[in-house]
Amino acid sequence: MRLNVKAPPAVQADTRQRLLEAAGRVFAEKGYRSTTVREIIRRAGANLAAVNYHFRGKDGLYAAVLEHTYAKALEKHPPEGGVDPRAPAGERLRGFIRSFLERIFDEDVEACYGRLMARELVEPTAALDGVVERIRPLFGRLCAIVKEIVESEASLGQIERSAKSIVGQILFYKHAAPVIQRLEGRRAGPPDIDALARHIADFSVHGLKGPSARARRSR
Amino acid sequence: MRLNVKAPPAVQADTRQRLLEAAGRVFAEKGYRSTTVREIIRRAGANLAAVNYHFRGKDGLYAAVLEHTYAKALEKHPPEGGVDPRAPAGERLRGFIRSFLERIFDEDVEACYGRLMARELVEPTAALDGVVERIRPLFGRLCAIVKEIVESEASLGQIERSAKSIVGQILFYKHAAPVIQRLEGRRAGPPDIDALARHIADFSVHGLKGPSARARRSR
């Protein structure tokens, strides 16, 4: 009998998964700094050696949680938002916006990724770098759609500024939710996704003065 | 000789002011929950009785700090942004956006109000209600400008959604600054205010497809 018994691969993968999920909940509740590895391993039913083996410690575990939860959100709500990739750019823009709203309004995603990112944006940690590398291709995809819509001479800087104008409109509903709640007595949620995606796409394509936008608004 | 010596009004006002300023710094650094009144009175050179007299305790002091710093930011960067109130609505929109950007990029404001609000939006306290009552008339002012620009049949809900599309574009540069920093190697700041105010106003009025917006962009 060998003394150095190693867990079989399936058990290892399961431990890794349990650690990721327990860590997601604890980090989201308490923030990176106030979380102890001790509490995570207790909740995951794992031990410190497993954290070090799979993630090389608390920092690595935290970075893995951020990337894992973002990847899961994208898997659940893919960025094309159910729109055919051959559809006109305006429709693809609406699909992109809709899937983004779905991700920020999804309570499972929100309970973990949303709260982690909200904390990251107030007090960034080294782990933000990894998430930004996952955000980068998504931003590129939005810029490509914007470029098709403006059809033109716009510089890369102008296209990127317009893409940021679109992302800003979307994130507002997550970021400013506590203010909206107090201003209007309710905050936006999943039932509003259709109307908001239409509004943001329409506002972005035509602005306040676009004639077709105005016609559509007065319907 | 009377034993019950009360400080003269000028000294009292000075103590109140020192408490507000010290509290602003400590709350911004540590957040509401981790801040102790003991640290604030030490920094302000005041005593607990003064906190209770002027603010009825920690909650009242915190609420007063939030409102005071917001009022100071608005006093320093008034919402018309230097534009004559008789100017066309498009220009007044640009002034509104510019002054908003000035407030979020002002490092004195940011060091206190910006950080306090960022924390409030992640974990709101009872004090947010008071700030929202100061935000409300400002939002109404923006809605009035938007209404003039669309010139039309738009419902109140449509106007408010458009106003939120504008505020979202502005706040993005504050809220997502750590991501922008990593995506582009720099974050926006005071030297960008002119260009950003022009872009956001232009994007909001004409969108991606507005003909005059396109002409302006290709210049």
Give DSSP secondary structure letters for B58-113. HHHHHHHHHHHHHHHHHHHS-TTTT--TTS-HHHHHHHHHHHHHHHHH-HHHIIII
Minimal-distance CA residue of chain B relative to A114: B122
Same domain, B52 and B157: no
Same domain, A149 and A45: no
Same domain, A79 and A122: yes
Q: Is residue A1 part of a domain?
A: no
CB contact under 8 A, A153 and B128: no
CB contact under 8 A, B169 and A170: no
A3-58 pLDDT per residue, tens: 445 677 777 779 999 999 999 999 998 889 889 999 999 999 999 999 999 999 99
B130 contacts chain A (CB < 8 A): no
Residues B39-54: what's their mean pLDDT? 96
Residue A2's pLDDT band (cuts 50, 70, 90): very low
Q: How far apart are CA A102 and CA A214, in angstroms?
A: 26
Q: How far apart are CA A64 and CA B209, in angstroms?
A: 41
The domain that holds B79 is classified in CATH as 1.10.357.10
Rounded to the nearest angstrom, the minimum Cα separation between B95 and chain A is 17
Same domain, B202 and B115: yes
Q: Tokens 């608004």 appear where?
A: A217
Residues A93-103: what's their mean pLDDT? 96
Residues A65-93: what's their mean pLDDT? 94
Same domain, B175 and B123: yes
Same domain, A51 and A72: no
CB contact under 8 A, A214 and B129: no
ipTM over 0.90: no
What is the CB neighbour count within 10 angstroms for residue A104?
22
CB contact under 8 A, A207 and B213: yes
Same domain, B49 and B75: no
What is the CB neighbour count within 10 angstroms for residue B176?
20
Question: What pLDDT does A218 receive?
Answer: 45
Minimal-distance CA residue of chain A relative to B140: A183
A152 contacts chain B (CB < 8 A): yes
B82 contacts chain A (CB < 8 A): no
B117-143 pLDDT per residue, tens: 888 888 899 999 999 999 999 999 999
Question: What pLDDT does A208 receive?
Answer: 87
Looking at the structure of chain A, the number of domains it has is 2
Same domain, B100 and B31: no
Same domain, B174 and B143: yes
Q: Whole domain around residue B48: which residue ranges?
A: 9-58
Residues B106-120: what's their mean pLDDT? 84
Touching B: A residues 167-186, CB under 8 Å: 167-173, 175-180, 182-183
Look up residue B81 and give its two tokens.
């942004």
| pTM of the predicted structure, to 2 decimals | 0.89
Look up residue A88 and give its two tokens.
């006109």
Q: Is residue B104 part of a domain?
A: yes
Q: Is residue A2 part of a domain?
A: no
Residues B182-186: what's their mean pLDDT? 92
* Of the candidate ranges A19-23, A116-120, B155-159, B196-200, the one whose mean pLDDT is the lowest: A116-120
Q: How far apart are CA A43 and CA B174, in angstroms?
A: 36
Same domain, A85 and A167: yes
CB contact under 8 A, B170 and A175: no
Same domain, A50 and A139: no
Q: Which of A77, A68, A50 is nearest to A130 (CA)?
A: A68
A61, A79, A98: which is the final residue of a domain? A61
Question: What pLDDT does B1 receive?
Answer: 43
Same domain, B49 and B104: no
Rounded to the nearest angstrom, the minimum Cα separation between A65 and chain B is 18
Burial status of residue B219 (CB atoms within 10 A of its CB: 0-12, 13-18, 19 or more): exposed
Question: What pLDDT does A1 receive?
Answer: 43
A156 contacts chain B (CB < 8 A): no
Q: Using the CB atoms, write b or e for B144-163: b if 16+ within 10 Å.
A: ebbbebbeeebeeebbbbbb
